[in-house]
Amino acid sequence: MPEMGLEPIRLAPHDFESCVYTIPPLRQWVAVYQMSNIKESDIFSFFCYTPLTMKPKVLAIVGPTASGKTSLSIELAKHFNGEVISVDSRQVYRGIDLCSGKVTKEEMSGVPHHLLDVVDLTDTYTAADFTRDAAAALLTIQNRGRLPILVGGTFFYLNALLGRTSTPAVPPNATLRAELEALPPETLHKRLVLLDPARAASIDQKNPRRLVRAIEVATALGAVPPVSTTEPYDVLTLGIQLDRQSLHHNIHTRIIDRLEAGMVAEVEALLAQGVTHERLESLGLECRYLSRYLRGELTYEAAIADLEIKTRQFAKRQMTWLKRDATIHWVEQQDKKQIIDSVSSFLNAER
């Protein structure tokens, strides 16, 4: 990058790991290289031509479910030459498209998307897996000279990638999970309090999947390891704010649209493929309530009514979580000029 007055560091590629280990903020890239399919030369060239005081620029878009994160991310990707990394714990799974609100090829409008359809439903995908895969995708995007745009509703995954949450690589414990998944969230939280009070104080107490994973980690390690004090990226986080009436309207419309597109048939197909009702219970509200309808626990009308109520409650909990983050720059989606100006200022600012 001669225009910036920078000279390449004269290292051989095989010296990469030992070099990085002398620089604490970059140590995570050794794990990314070792655990992914990314080329050693990609990481090597990125860091050898980048000042060590620089942090890679990343745009993140957050907001409650049905607030319009996906459409905004695609607009901004087109405007700023970006690529989208999905931050969604369900969209990594193949076969749950309508239930997870997965973006379609048509909706992508040619914008590359990453971390969709990564694993089968027979696999377990953790926050540690996401952090590894998303970091590798982010590096690849940057090496193409494009802007990484993180978008999705799994904020725990986002914080893990940004270095704000610890993600120990503890493998799933099938026996323990079978025991825990039969317990209500209140019981799970009490158990976590005994194992790891610090994690219990910060976790979403009504999210059984998060509680099960936290207990799994605390059982294996004694407690969730402390968070690193160094964040690896320079991040602008845009939060979409929407009045409650509009958000509720969006939630209702989205549920109806997905049902008309075949969401029940999607769940029926999963069952025909051998996915159990127990597994469907863990795959989000849509799978959960349609599973209960299909096994006769609820009428169709009751299942859809419950789904809408629970989705509204989920959106409220998401906003409660997000409002605690003082770094979020809140915007209204219709104010495109303000959004574009904010992103432009961020990208042009000194790092």
Over residues 228-256, the mean pLDDT reads: 93
Q: What is the CATH number of the domain that holds 293?
A: 1.10.287.890
Q: Is the domain of 296 the same as that of 256?
A: yes
Contact 251, 65 (CB under 8 A): yes
Distance CA 185, CA 188 (A): 5
Q: Which of 160, 92, 163, 156 is nearest to 125 (CA)?
A: 92
- Would you say residue 121 has pLDDT above 60? yes
- Dihedral Cα 328, 329, 332, 337, nearest 10 deg: -150
Q: Decide: residue 171, CB within 10 A, 0-12 exposed, 13-18 middle, 19+ buried.
A: exposed
Q: Is the domain of 203 the same as that of 253?
A: no
| pLDDT at residue number 119 | 97
The β-bridge partners of 151 are 61, 86
| pLDDT at residue number 20 | 43
| Structure token pair of residue 185 | 């969230």
| pLDDT at residue number 148 | 98
Contact 226, 166 (CB under 8 A): yes
More confident residue, 114 or 219: 114
pLDDT-derived band of residue 181, with 50, 70 and 90 as boundaries?
confident
pLDDT-derived band of residue 225, with 50, 70 and 90 as boundaries?
low
Q: Which of 19-28, 288-297, 301-310 has the lowest mean pLDDT?
A: 19-28
The answer as to whether 208 is a domain residue is yes
Q: Which of 108-117, 219-228, 275-284, 310-319 has the lowest mean pLDDT?
A: 219-228
CA–CA–CA angle 296, 300, 302 (5° rounding): 95
| pLDDT at residue number 26 | 47
- Would you say residue 256 has pLDDT above 60? yes
| Structure token pair of residue 219 | 């059982």
Share of the chain above pLDDT 70, in %: 81
pLDDT digits (tens, 9 = 90+) for 2-53: 334 333 434 444 444 444 433 434 444 444 445 455 555 555 454 444 444 5
Task: Locate all alpha helices (DSSP H) within the chain, ordered by sequence.
Answer: 16-20, 28-35, 40-48, 69-80, 105-108, 127-143, 155-161, 174-180, 185-195, 197-202, 208-221, 244-261, 263-272, 277-281, 285-294, 300-322, 336-348
Over residues 252-257, the mean pLDDT reads: 98
Q: Is the domain of 195 the same as that of 258?
A: no
The answer as to whether 231 is a domain residue is no
The answer as to whether 218 is a domain residue is yes
pLDDT digits (tens, 9 = 90+) for 64-103: 999 999 999 999 999 999 999 999 999 999 999 999 999 9
Q: Is the domain of 314 the same as that of 248?
A: yes
The β-bridge partners of 93 are 119
Q: Which of 164-168, 213-217, 341-345 has the lowest mean pLDDT?
A: 164-168
Q: What does the mean pLDDT of the chain come to?
A: 85
The answer as to whether 194 is a domain residue is yes
The answer as to whether 100 is a domain residue is no
| pLDDT at residue number 293 | 98
Residue numbers of the domain that contains 295: 244-318
The answer as to whether 7 is a domain residue is yes
| pLDDT at residue number 228 | 60
The answer as to whether 81 is a domain residue is no
How far CA 71 is from CA of 25, 216, 242, in Å, comes to 33, 36, 15
- Would you say residue 162 has pLDDT above 60? yes
* Domain-terminating residue out of 15, 30, 54: 54
The gap between the terminal CA atoms of the chain, to the nearest Å, is: 16
| pLDDT at residue number 17 | 43
Q: Is the domain of 176 the same as that of 212?
A: yes
| pLDDT at residue number 320 | 93
Tally of domains within the chain:
3
- Would you say residue 216 has pLDDT above 60? yes
Share of the chain above pLDDT 90, in %: 63
Q: Is the domain of 250 the same as that of 196?
A: no
Q: Is the domain of 253 the same as that of 312?
A: yes
pLDDT-derived band of residue 171, with 50, 70 and 90 as boundaries?
confident
The answer as to whether 214 is a domain residue is yes
